[in-house]
Amino acid sequence: MTETNVADKPKTQFKVKDYKSDTKPIWCPGCGDFGVLASLYQALAKLNLPSHEVAIISGIGCSSRLPGYVATYGFNAVHGRILPIATGVKMASPEITVIGTGGDGDGFSIGMGHVPHAARRNVDMTYIVMDNEIYGLTKGQLSPTAHVGDVTKTSAYGSIERPVEPVDLMINVGASFVARANAGDPKQMADLIVQAIQHKGFAFIDALSPCRTFRGIEQKKFINANTFKVEDHDHDPSDKRKALDIADSQEGISTGLLYVEERPPYDELYKDLRDRATQKPVPEIQDILQRYIP
Amino acid sequence: MAKMLIKGNEAIVKGALLAGCEAYFGYPITPASEIAEAASVYFPEVGGTFLQAESEVGAINMVYGAAGAGQRVMTASSSPGISLKQEGVSYIAGSELPAVIVDIMRGGPGLGNIAPEQSDYNQVVKGGGHGNYKTIALAPNSAQEMCDLTMLAFELADKYRNPVYVVADGFIGQMMEPVEFPKPNRNIPEKPWAVKGTAETSDNLISSIELDPDDLEEHNRKMQRKYQEMRESEVRYQAYHCDDAEIILIGFGIVSRVIQSAVDELRAQGVKVGMLRPITLFPFPSDVIRQYTDQVSKFWVMELNNGQMVDDVRLAVENRVPVKFHGRMGGNVVGTDEIIEKVLEEESA
């Protein structure tokens, strides 16, 4: 990245308003995504990241409108393709803070093919899924995180599909930072976003973000009544088995940092690979053929 | 059956069921979602299958599977979703399987918007995916035709063992109109080639692979003969006041409804215009259009895109008379006054 703006770099303390774009959110009143957006502003301000050093990549869906509301670089991209596009951005500009934001349908239905690969590669990015268990933008169809029995516009007789469990999934496919947070608890959400951005590697946050329009007030009430914080339970996030246990806790929906692992991120590993390749170039064709000459 | 006020998208589902469609696989997308929604209600009711796939790619491959097993099967989507399905459509065409794909076109390119366009003409009519294949493309211009042409689509798909598109702009999908539903027509032919899990079909193989160059060329030639047969037998169009027309306006989908009004008004003003509406976009009514070149001074082609069908009109006209084009994009629809103005402006020039 060019350092042309060195003059305005030192010691500026950015505030929340510095990250707000001129576009006002058009989410429905009561949408959980407002909470996630507010927390993201807070987190960016706390980390004091210059807005031109952040890129927010989204897919398609209500929550994927988010980059338009943040005055950073942004890319409202292709449905389900947040992670490959974010990987491209990160590989092109490793010094940029890359954040992916999208919904449960975008990530865990049409985008599911990409999820394990970004996670296992440990692409250094933060992936926030605003999980409302419904397709909101297309007006109320069944989502992959909806529960058995849920009646939606495409499950008139009740869903018969076992839902995707985002947190379990992400721990198992190799995400090195996995958290869950309630959009209605902006402090917790902002703290986790800060930690996720600071984490070197693939950081996933399952943001419980209720949909007032298609899930009613009940969804929000359920989340508020049934979430608990793992900090209150002496949880050791470095222990994968304990992380999976608390992810599926019978006591309710666990929130907080569930799992974290220190592992070199993809861009660093790739830099090493490139260094090795530069020092020891690919053998000449003659050298290869030499091996077959008896 | 009595008339029913119904959305074009819902009429498609009713038509599919009247044609004996047994399975629907789809993914939510505006402005086609009502098709999946109605399918989720009605298919289970009549003993059929409805499954909301994990993606457009998932949906078209489920269609591939069910078609291979001999079922009447369909999917529906809108422009960006159709782009995603193209690989699967190519495999279905290559494997010579019947399937119905509905495209409720919206604004593009990229995400575009959810307003009506006709910008998928090329990707639907010209093949779209990889390889030398063609798909029949039926273009309804009313809720009634959404039902009727969907029924026809299943028939043609089975007849030619080929994917058939029902391709409508978002307007036709979203518009509510009275529809009279015909009697069920479930003339499903024998499918001895299907893989049904029975002893009789155990030697059947569904595949699009032909590793030997000569075999693949022969397979392609066979398919080309099939497409030629479609050109000879399946052309459908509507001619409105064309018999004595000096100018013919050509349009499909919602545009044809607007053109029809403009023709009436222009005729009232003494201008001898007519409308020709291709109902099959492939096979295209090229011969019909060419016949009118002896009679008319020019053609006008109006589309909700940058000029895609106009290429086929020009190929048909072979430069014998001028072919003028007027298109709107982004979800804007040509108006009656706009058409009249275009035609008169040209005549007074």
Q: Using one digit for the tens of pLDDT, what is the confidence trace for B3-43?
A: 999 999 999 999 999 999 999 999 999 999 999 999 999 99
CA A203 to CA B196: how far, in whole Å? 46
* B200 pLDDT higher than 60: yes
Whole-complex ipTM: 0.86
- Amino acid B165: pLDDT: 98
Segment A184-204 mean pLDDT:
98
Q: Over 70: is that where the pLDDT of B188 sits? A: yes
Model's pTM, two decimal places?
0.91
Closest CB to B30: pick one of A138, A153, A154. Answer: A138
Measured between CA atoms, how close is B163 to chain A, in angstroms?
Answer: 23
Q: How far is B254 from chain A (nearest CA, A)?
A: 23
- Domain range for residue A225? 12-265
Domains of chain B: 3-233 (3.40.50.970), 238-348 (3.40.50.920)
* Mean pLDDT of the B188-212 span: 92
Per DSSP, A281 falls in state: P
Average pLDDT over residues B172-186: 95
**Interchain pair A79, B80: CB under 8 A:** yes
Number of alpha carbons in the 13 Å side-chain half-sphere of residue A155: 21
Instruction: Flag whether A7 is in a domain.
Output: no
Residues of chain B above pLDDT 70, percent: 100
Q: Do A79 and B37 touch (CB under 8 A)?
A: no
| In a domain? residue A92 | yes
Q: Is A161 within a domain?
A: yes
CATH number where A261 lies? 3.40.50.970
Residues of chain A in contact with residue B111, where contact means CB-CB under 8 angstroms, are: 60, 76, 78
Give residue A10's pLDDT band: very low, low, confident or very high (50, 70, 90): low
* Nearest alpha-carbon partner for B240 in B268, B280, B290, B275: B275
Q: What is the mean pLDDT of residues A113-139?
A: 97
Angle between helices B254-268 and B336-348 (to 10 degrees): 50
pLDDT in tens, A150-182: 999 999 999 999 999 999 999 999 999 999 999
Q: Which two tokens stand for residue A18?
A: 């510095």
A287 within domain boundaries: no
Own/partner pairs, A216-219, CB within 8 angstroms, 24+ separation = A217/A30, A219/A132, A219/A133
pLDDT of residue A3: 47
pLDDT band at A1 (very low <50, low <70, confident <90, very high): very low
| Dihedral sign computed on CA atoms, order A136, A140, A144, A147 | positive
What is the Cα B145 distance to its own chain's centre?
11
Which residues 39-58 of B are in CB contact (within 8 Å) with A?
40-41, 44, 50, 52, 54-56
Contact across the interface for B54 and A79, Cβ inside 8 Å = no
* List of chain B residues whose C-beta atoms are within 8 Å of the C-beta of residue A153: 33, 37, 40
Distance CA A285, CA A192 (A): 51
Query: How far is the alpha carbon of A161 from chain B, nearest alpha carbon, in Å?
Result: 10
CB contact under 8 A, B27 and A110: yes
Q: Could you tell me the pLDDT band of residue A15, with boundaries at 50, 70 and 90?
A: very high
A197, pLDDT greater than 80: yes
Average pLDDT over residues B279-294: 98
pLDDT of residue A7 exceeding 60, the answer is no
pLDDT value of position A2: 45
Mean pLDDT of chain A: 94
Average pLDDT of B75-79?
98
| pLDDT bracket for residue A234 (50, 70, 90) | very high
Q: What pLDDT sits at residue A280?
A: 79
The pLDDT tens digits of the residues spanning A249-269 come to 999 999 999 999 999 999 999
Nearest to B33 among A113, A141, A155 (CB): A141
- Give yes or no for B109 touching A (CB within 8 A): no
Q: Is residue A131 part of a domain?
A: yes
In this structure, what are the phi and psi dihedrals at residue B186, rounded to the nearest 5 degrees?
-105, 50
* Structure token pair of residue B266: 């222009």
**Within-domain flag for A2:** no
> Residue range A118-136: average pLDDT?
98
Q: Which helix (H) or strand (E) holds A252?
A: none
| Mean pLDDT calculated for residue range B152-178 | 98
- The answer to whether residue A290 sits within a structural domain is no
**Alpha-carbon gap: A146 to the closest alpha carbon of chain B (Å):** 13
Instruction: Give A266→chain B minimum CA distance, Å.
Output: 27
Contacts of B50 in chain A (CB under 8 A): 154
Q: Is B310 left (phi over 0), alpha (psi -120 to 50) or beta?
A: alpha
> For B40, which residue in chain A has the nearest alpha carbon?
A154
Specify the number of domains making up chain A: 1
| Inside any domain, residue A261 | yes
Nearest-angstrom CA–CA distance, B258 and B54: 38
CA angle A179, A182, A183 (to 5 degrees): 115
